[in-house]
Amino acid sequence: MWLNNESKDALENFWRMAGGFEPYPRQLEKAALLALPVAIIKLPRLALGSIESWLSFRNIHYSFGCSSRPVRGCLLAFQGKGLIFCDGTDLPDEVRFTIAHEISHFLLDHLIPRQKATKLFGISVLEILDGLRKPSISERIGSLLEGTKIGVLTNLMERDNIRNSTEVWKIEEQADRLALELLAPSNDVLAKTNIIAKDFNERLDSITQSLILNFGLPKTIARSYGEDLLKHINQGRSFIEALRASM
């Protein structure tokens, strides 16, 4: 409903490569492995240090360059492939959203920029994106490379959800929107939900419960997404309800 064209294309291509839609509530693990060159790793009490240890044990020497801290999820992407880490001790609905969120980052922030760059500059540009050489003068002119991550792409899904800049908020919002459409497409949500109640809180409770029970979203995410959906179809709070809510 509210995805940009790039995200819509990514969504369509994902399900095409996965061989078809998954029934609700979607787990996405099998679909991701069929559609994308990614591996999904679940570690107990996920932290930066445990990810580094997992990599080191497999002779992959990578450091986040900071002290270890708990995270809900992590994406490491390089050369068109990705590792998605999630906390295996989280509740299933949280794991489900973490996987969807990191899939979205892999598509939007790694795979699609590589495909665009290759189409514009040819396959040799991948040597730049993989950090194997510096761009030539003509390649530097291409604005596409300016916002493309060089080398290893790292994305962390923090437990406190603190985002430090407008740019980070924009990137995370795009990933969240695609993740929600992967798990709970807006049109399907609205089709499965009774939203005829006159009171906004009743409508919000109805759509929140539908998102939890039918689509398997975590409660806080379901409520936030539900409120956004109601606003989008002009079923949000009335002026009086908004006024009362602010008092």
Q: What is the pLDDT of residues 198-227, one digit of tens each?
A: 788 899 999 999 999 999 999 999 999 999
Q: What is the pLDDT of residue 238?
A: 67
Two tokens, residue 21: 């839609």
Quick: pLDDT tens for 71-87. 999 999 998 999 999 99
Q: Residue 170 pLDDT > 60, yes or no?
A: yes
Q: What is the pLDDT of residue 162?
A: 46
d(Cα 27, Cα 5) in Å, to the nearest integer? Answer: 25
User: Above pLDDT 90, what percent of the chain?
Assistant: 58
pTM of the model: 0.87
Which of 3-12, 49-58, 125-134, 196-205 comes out lowest in average pLDDT?
A: 125-134
d(Cα 180, Cα 124) in Å, to the nearest integer? Answer: 35
Quick: pLDDT tens for 114-146. 888 888 777 877 777 777 777 766 656 554 555
Q: Residue 54 pLDDT > 50, yes or no?
A: yes
Please write down the long-range contacts of 191-196, taking CB distance under 8 Å and 24 or more positions apart. Answer: 195/230, 195/233, 195/235
User: Above pLDDT 70, what percent of the chain?
Assistant: 83
Average pLDDT score over residue span 18-36: 96
Q: Report which residue type is found at 10.
A: A
Q: Residue 166 pLDDT > 50, yes or no?
A: no
Mean pLDDT in the chain? 86
- For 35, residues 6+ apart whose C-beta sits below 8 A from its C-beta are 13, 14, 15, 16, 17, 18
Q: What is the pLDDT of residue 56?
A: 96
Among the listed residues 89, 85, 99, 80, the one whose alpha carbon sits nearest the alpha carbon of residue 22: 99
Q: What is the pLDDT of residue 145?
A: 57
pLDDT band at 148 (very low <50, low <70, confident <90, very high): low
Domain-by-domain residue ranges, the chain?
5-183, 184-247
Alpha helices in the chain (DSSP H): 5-18, 29-35, 48-57, 92-105, 112-121, 126-129, 137-141, 166-183, 186-191, 200-213, 219-232, 239-246
Region for residue 79 given its phi and psi (left: phi exceeds 0; alpha: psi -120 to 50; beta: otherwise): left
Residue 150 C-alpha from the chain's centroid: 20
Average pLDDT score over residue span 29-46: 96
